[in-house]
């Protein structure tokens, strides 16, 4: 991990040596009492943590804030509910790339049972966000939901300004890079909502709903990518717009 993240209030408590973060600090970073390492408070400041005491059971830490990270990129993802392993990759990697929100939605071709996975019920989804943010040297976590249908989520954001793009391999008439450039020509900092279908792709009813809500269907080229690969490629393109 490039940045060791702590929940608010955790730095005031002993960090058990069995904690993966303590093991990382001691065994990977090879820090000892009196030495410091890069740390951050979730959704708060980035700074330096110092080991002020070390015992057989725990570490005592102090924290000095250095800076407040920039806001997350103005990008919202609408993602067709994916298999748990794919969703894990999406959560981690999108948090690394930087997005403001991720909404996993039930679509015409997604398996609704995926929303009952232990990924969502055990809180593992948030651990994946923490891994992604730590990789990116950031403390900000995107908003995440997984209980809406595509239609409900589209209706919820009818009044939200900004560009609306849906990736589609079959009926898209323009490349994402062109759609992104067109949106940036108006305002490079404008919010973008990017819709990505489930592993089986959008269904006909999904496409009707997307078009009815003002989404431009765009593609990444002729090759068919995995959902997680398409997401990373699309976020890289959107991140470079303007």
Per-residue pLDDT tens digits for 128-143: 999 999 999 999 999 9
Res 181: pLDDT: 72
DSSP annotation string for 70-139: PPPPSEEEEEE---HHHHHHHHHHHHHH--SEEEEEE-TTS-GGGGGSHHHHSSHHHHHHHHHHHHTT--
The whole domain housing 54 covers 4-67
If asked whether residues 80 and 189 sit together in one domain, one would say yes
| 26-84 pLDDT tens trace | 999 999 999 999 999 999 999 999 999 999 999 999 999 999 999 999 999 999 999 99
Beta bridge partners of 103: 78, 145
Q: Is 92 found in the same domain as 182?
A: yes
- Answer yes or no: do 126 and 227 share one domain: yes
Q: Are residues 28 and 137 in the same domain?
A: no
Provide the number of structural domains found in the chain: 2
- pLDDT tier, 161 (very low <50, low <70, confident <90, very high otherwise): confident
pTM score, whole prediction: 0.92
- 191 shares a domain with 124: yes
Res 185: pLDDT: 54
Average pLDDT, the chain: 93
Checking if the pLDDT of 158 tops 80, the result is no
Residues 163 and 194 in one domain: yes
């Amino acid at each position: 991990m490039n940045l060791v993240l702590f929940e608010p209030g955790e730095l005031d408590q002993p960090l058990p040596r069995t904690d993966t973060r303590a093991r990382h600090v001691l065994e990977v970073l090879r820090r000892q009492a009196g030495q410091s390492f890069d740390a951050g408070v979730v959704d708060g400041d980035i700074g330096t943590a110092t080991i002020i005491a070390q015992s057989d059971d725990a570490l005592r830490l102090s924290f000095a804030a250095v800076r407040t990270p920039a806001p997350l990129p103005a990008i919202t993802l609408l993602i067709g509910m994916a298999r748990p392993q794919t969703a894990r990759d999406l959560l981690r990697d999108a948090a690394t790339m930087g997005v403001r929100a991720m909404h996993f939605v039930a679509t015409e071709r997604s398996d609704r049972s995926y929303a009952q996975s232990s990924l969502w019920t055990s809180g593992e989804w948030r651990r994946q966000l923490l891994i992604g943010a730590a990789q990116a040297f950031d403390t900000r976590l995107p908003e995440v939901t997984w209980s809406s249908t595509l239609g409900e989520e589209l209706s919820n954001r009818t009044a939200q300004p900004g560009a609306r793009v849906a990736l589609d391999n079959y009926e898209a008439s323009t490349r994402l890079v062109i759609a992104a450039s067109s949106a940036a020509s108006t305002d490079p900092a404008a919010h973008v909502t990017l819709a990505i279908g489930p592993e089986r792709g959008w269904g006909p009813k999904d496409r009707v709903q997307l078009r009815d809500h003002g989404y431009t269907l765009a593609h990444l080229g002729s090759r068919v990518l995995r959902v997680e690969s398409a997401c990373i490629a699309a976020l890289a393109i959107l991140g470079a717009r303007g």
